[in-house]
A and B are shown apart, each in its own frame.
Chain A
Amino acid sequence: AQTVTQSQPEMSVQEAETVTLSCTYDTSENNYYLFWYKQPPSRQMILVIRQEAYKQQNATENRFSVNFQKAAKSFSLKISDSQLGDTAMYFCAFMKLSSGNTGKLIFGQGTTLQVKP
């Protein structure tokens, strides 16, 4: 069975600073996706960034980037130039890539990030 662990329940960062959220996972699978989702207070969850396990290059999306270490089973999220709108709970998630597993995400416990002005 796959597990996802986020060891930082809460973090805070000053506006315009950089913050890194940690995530480790455990799996025996070789083909999978990893995601970071953001859930703002009382708002719907949205995708921040996605990484295919077969790609060695780390994914980037504007101010968001990941450090994907497949051998270490680590998948951290770096947010640069933090903005007040980045305040949210962030979830790391794993999806096994095999037939019949679409739609099944294994989530970590989440990290609440507060961006301070």
Chain B
Amino acid sequence: KAGVTQTPRYLIKTRGQQVTLSCSPISGHRSVSWYQQTPGQGLQFLFEYFSETQRNKGNFPGRFSGRQFSNSRSEMNVSTLELGDSALYLCASSLARGRTSSTGELFFGEGSRLTVL
């Protein structure tokens, strides 16, 4: 069974640009969540999608957005990039039944490392 796949793995952008990151969850997983990892702030929750609906959102500005498609694949977008957006962006999927996860375990991808110059 394939794991969580994130693309691209590495990317470099300049301030003011926008970026789209993609995440393919484990087959059968309907919940996809996104996290930002930086040395200073650690791991912070961005948002979670289930059945194409955003179910939960962290404390990030509106420049950070996401969506989920009918096949559970998810994308996140960051517009008007700032230097502080440089980070490792992690996607995680889980086997959520209805509105409650069966085990709570999240399966993480390898991440997309974004550098903003």
Contact of B99 among A43, A44, A47, A100 (CB under 8 A): A100
CA distance A104 to B100 in the complex (A): 12
B88 nearest CB across to chain A (Å): 10
Contact status of A103 and B101, CB under 8 A, knowing A43-B110, A45-B90, A46-B108? yes
Interface size on B, residues (CB 8 A): 31
Cα A45 to Cα B106 with chains together (Å)? 9
B42 touches A101 (CB 8 A): no
* Interface residue A25 (Cβ < 8 Å from any Cβ of B): no
State which of A100, A101, A105, A110 has its C-beta within 8 Å of the C-beta of B106: A105
Q: Which chain B residues lie closer than 8 Å to A99 at the CB level?
A: 99-100
Write the nearest CB–CB distance from A106 to chain B, whole angstroms: 7
Would you call A102 and B50 a contact (CB within 8 A)?
Answer: yes
CA distance in complex: A101, B94 (Å): 12
Decide if B96 is an interface residue (CB 8 Å cutoff): yes
Distance in Å: Cβ of A68 to nearest Cβ of chain B: 15
CB pair B108–A109 under 8 Å, yes or no, is no
Q: For residue B102, give the distance in angstroms from its CB to the closest CB of chain A.
A: 9
CB within 8 Å for A97 and B42 given contacts A102-B96, A104-B48, A104-B56: no
A contact patch SS: loop
Contact B31 A97 (CB under 8 A): no
- Let me know if B106 and A44 touch, CB within 8 A: no
Query: In the complex the two chains form, what is the Cα distance from A101 to B58 in whole Å?
Result: 11
Residues of B within 8 A of A101 (CB): 56
Which residue, A35, A46, A97, A104, has most C-beta atoms of chain B within 10 A?
A104
Cβ-defined partner of A106 (8 Å) among B32, B45, B90: B45
Say yes or no: B42 contacts A109, CB within 8 Å: yes
Could you mark each residue 36-54 of chain B with 1 if its beta carbon is under 8 Å from any beta carbon of chain A, else 0?
0000001111001010000
